[in-house]
Structure 1
Amino acid sequence: MNTPTLSKGQLFINGQWRDAADGAVAATFNPATELEIMKVAQATLGDVNDAVDAAHEAFENGEWRKMGPHHKARVLNRIGDLIEENADELAALESMDMGKPLAFARHFDIQFIADLFHFYAGVASGQLGGATRQVTPSETGNMPLAYTRKEPLGVIAAITPFNFPMILSCTKIAPALAAGNTFIHKPASATPLTALRMAEIFKEAGLPDGTFNVVTGSGRTVGNALVEHPKVKKIAFTGSTEVGKGILKQSSESLKKVTLELGGKSAHIIFDDADIKQAAQNASLAAFFNKGEFCMAGTRLLVQRSVYDEVLTELVEATKGLVIGDPLDMATTFGPQVDEGARDNCAKYVDIALEEGARLVMGGKPMTVDGKGYYFEPTILADVDNKSRVAQEEIFGPVLAVIPFDTEEEAIALANDSEYGLAAGVQTQNLGRAHRVAHAMEAGMVWVNTWGQFDSALPFGGYKASGIGREMGIEAMESYTQNKSVYVSLD
């Protein structure tokens, strides 16, 4: 595979590339080789203000907000087409920057974000209109004209994480642009490369200057400045629950709209009437996809006691099929953690689990490939107590806790005994049970006899401490628009 061309690592503000005001830069590293990839600009408060001013000016006086719906749709469709045309380059940048296996980035992430822009092109073209309403006639008997309009909010700022840099930015960018807003993106410090390349694609597609801006840098400087800025009308954040709570508090000062996609500790239930071999394959995928750096990971596996040992055996066999290696090798299915701290956090939780009485079935140790990389073995812990730390706290790595249960009622109670409620899964061949349990689980998305299936048309978001609001689907447009009612007297 050819090495992708790297951008200059600058800020993208008002359609132009520029250095940070004070020239500050920070390195981004390849977690598989531990080597520096490039240096990236670290925005100052002044740079953030310039980006917000550019986006605000573009919203108030620029083309995008006023552009006709079909013209907007053409630009969004062109973005989707360019993503597909540059798929190999984007996938390689994603793989280099965060350790995602290239095969996954190329065949899942890229196609998904292209589909997002094509989907929201359709929304922009035909599904954003308001509606006329029947209201009480006037005293003269005339029927007033009453209707609603959906209007954009203004400047949107997104603060996105390292684990799915393209997907979890585009789930925000695409609907925000479809609604006519302007945008500022603050990517994760560890994974800025695809954010910078996407800015080039947006410009090539014909997005007017100032409509989309990228400011790289620390959350403490850039993220806080965006959250506190009075001209930013909405914050869209994906990340930890702790940081999300802080953003919610900060945003309240200026009454910003906020959507938060936060942590998870998703329960995955295998009943004794499931196809055990397929259920184990699904459980391994749920826990170890994207090396466990997946907020929807099924990291609490609840298994009915009558098939508990059989599931563990099949689970180990399924997990042995993972190919651990260089993420840029298309054969690799399991790459390194994003950095040394993430790897060490996995080791810490395995030690905690063993102290709490869990049984180590597989994995449990850091490792390297050719002597390099922040890898952690796919790890299975059995006989876990659902009240233990390893079952209740988000590890964000390839550490799976397996918990036994006896009855359907017990399984539901265990599944819902968590502060989180992002995703959940059910493995059963009983159709009635599948619906009954899916309805009872406190989670924003439930998969039955599968895991990790998404579509642009389906909304996604969490219950409880897993977040506020929804991304994707037509439902996402509610958080990027505001409703106006117009009442016209015909007397």
Structure 2
Amino acid sequence: MTTVHSDSGVLAGDERMLIDGELQLTGSGAMFDVINPATEEVAGRATDGTTDDMARAVGAARRAFDTTDWSRDVEFRYHCLTQLHAALERNTERLRRVIVTEVGCPISLTGSQVDSPVEEVAHWAEVGRSFEYLQDTGVHDSQAGPSRRLIHYDAVGVVGAITPWNVPLYLNIAETTPALMAGNTVVLKPAQLTPWAGSELGRIVAEETDIPPGVFNVVVSNANEVGAALSADPRVDMITFTGSTATGRAILAAGAPTVKKTLLELGGKSAHIVLDDADLTAALPMAAMLACIMSGQSCVLPSRILLPRSRYDEGLAILQATMEGFPVGDPWATQNLQGPQISKGQQDKVLGLIADGVASGARLVTGGGIPEGLEKGYYVQPTLLADVDPDSRVAQEEIFGPVLCVIPYDTQDEAIAIANNSIYGLSGQVSSADEDRALQVALRLRTGSANINGGQHFGLTSPFGGTKQSGLGRRNGLHGFEEYLEIKTLGLPPA
């Protein structure tokens, strides 16, 4: 089921999907190619699941939730997720090779793609085991007299998880393991461009854990309608999705007839406000690096840099020097920190948006094309655009490539207004020599999170999500765990 290229480290993942405890190919035997974005070559294949396969997976998850003790047996869930964590640890190096092959992530950066999500399984197992599912809130007054009240947290039911291609293993785990530990059953639909991050997880669950048939299912497909079928199925109680805002809107519409609970982490166009007293040599090299790491394929990284006009040229020079020296190339070479875009379509989109930005008046400082010597593979040069109009397409649309848009400003209030001038509200950043001043600016950003002077908001113990059209709900922290639970309030006579 796998193909190994020992000379390059390339490793194809499992071709099968997991439905009702069985690793299987789709009935017709149809397959689709998985392309290595660093070479443009076929790295292997995956089964091309259908809407009928999705219907069977949803049926299995529905049966497992309705007829087994999975939702009520916390200790068994803990046992199964502890098994899963140990199994993922045993498979870490295989998973690393699969991720570099299908994503093009530089091997030097796979800690966040592989190692961190593996440890996340253990985290959610502990959170779910210690969570207080029945809470006594004491005696409360009511019109009928005093009443004792309890709050009970119930599993939502069947959770459909639809995940993207940029950090696929991480998001496959982040969107399913807290749901499982909360007592739900799950159907995972991995991204079409990165099916193996899902099929490998399904294989490990089936072969190395006691997770019962139907509790966890993975449907791999190259067809958009298969994910759409999951969103619309009335037997699904909740959809969790990470991806584009356009797809998020479609998921909301599909779930509306059954009023599905929906957890969405959508697009971003985060701004980094560099205040006039900031240490530019401390703030800007990292800002340029963040634009290029993961080939810019991250919704949370600041892609708009707001520089005070009084220090504009100084800041541009620092950004330019960093981006021109950034190591781009073969993801298997440990010195490289930027690999290819995920696909030819994504490469074309990024290059097209750069050209559109220049046509709209932006100044191309560096980059803007394909790196010399990397004509094979979907590479894009680290690109710096200056004098960007805050209302232009490149300042408003998520590029998802190694592109920084630099916008000058005159006053602090103007910088805040520019940062908030977006349909998105996922994250942001503020740099200043005065931490309190930076904090006051960050508090005025209409975002779900913000970093100050290099601090990091993101982590398993803190809620993460967006405002405006960047999403609904939160991942991580207790807030994130509770997203996969329903609240039931119980009234009893006072003791």
How many angstroms does 1:487 deviate by?
A: 2.7
How many angstroms does 1:43 deviate by?
A: 1.3
Normalised by the length of structure 2, the TM-score is 0.94
The answer to whether the Cα contact below 8 Å between 1:268 and 1:425 also exists between their aligned partners in 2 is yes
Deviation readout 1:100-158 (Å, 9 max, x if unpaired): 111111x22223212321221121111242311334579999x7553121010111011
**Residues 60-459 of structure 1 aligned to structure 2 (within 5 Å):** 60-67=66-73, 69-105=74-110, 107-136=111-140, 145-203=148-206, 204-218=208-222, 220-367=224-371, 369=373, 371-450=375-454, 454-459=458-463
1:47 aligns with 2:53: yes
Q: Which runs of 4+ in 1 moved over 6 A?
A: 137-141
Counterpart residue identity of residue 59, structure 1: F
Counterpart residue identity of residue 90, structure 2: E
Superposed CA RMSD in Å reads 2.1
How many angstroms does 1:304 deviate by?
A: 1.2
Normalised by the length of structure 1, the TM-score is 0.94
Residue aligning to 1:464? 468
Residue aligning to 1:38? 44
How many angstroms does 1:263 deviate by?
A: 0.8
| Structure 2 alignment gaps of length 5 or more | none
Instruction: Pick from 17, 32, 35 the counterpart of residue 29 of structure 1.
Output: 35
Describe the shift of the 1:138–1:223 C-alpha distance in structure 2 as closer, same or farther (beyond 3 A): closer
How many angstroms does 1:336 deviate by?
A: 0.5
The answer to whether the Cα contact below 8 Å between 1:31 and 1:374 also exists between their aligned partners in 2 is yes
Paired with 2:164 and 2:366, the residues of 1 have a C-alpha distance of 29
How many angstroms does 1:6 deviate by?
A: 3.9
| Structure 1 alignment gaps of length 5 or more | none
Tell me the number of residue pairs that the alignment of Structure 1 and Structure 2 aligns: 488
How many angstroms does 1:347 deviate by?
A: 1.3
Counterpart residue identity of residue 345, structure 2: G
How many angstroms does 1:367 deviate by?
A: 3.6
Paired with 1:452 and 1:81, the residues of 2 have a C-alpha distance of 28
The answer to whether the Cα contact below 8 Å between 1:286 and 1:452 also exists between their aligned partners in 2 is no
Paired with 1:257 and 1:300, the residues of 2 have a C-alpha distance of 32
Describe the shift of the 1:6–1:99 C-alpha distance in structure 2 as closer, same or farther (beyond 3 A): closer
The answer to whether the Cα contact below 8 Å between 1:343 and 1:366 also exists between their aligned partners in 2 is no
Paired with 2:175 and 2:71, the residues of 1 have a C-alpha distance of 17
The answer to whether the Cα contact below 8 Å between 1:21 and 1:46 also exists between their aligned partners in 2 is no
Paired with 2:114 and 2:455, the residues of 1 have a C-alpha distance of 19
How many angstroms does 1:250 deviate by?
A: 1.2
The answer to whether the Cα contact below 8 Å between 2:137 and 2:150 also exists between their aligned partners in 1 is yes
Paired with 1:336 and 1:490, the residues of 2 have a C-alpha distance of 64
Percent of counterpart pairs with the same letter?
A: 37
Paired with 1:368 and 1:342, the residues of 2 have a C-alpha distance of 19
2:295 match: secondary structure: helix
1:10 aligns with 2:16: yes
1:375 match: secondary structure: coil
The answer to whether the Cα contact below 8 Å between 1:96 and 1:328 also exists between their aligned partners in 2 is no
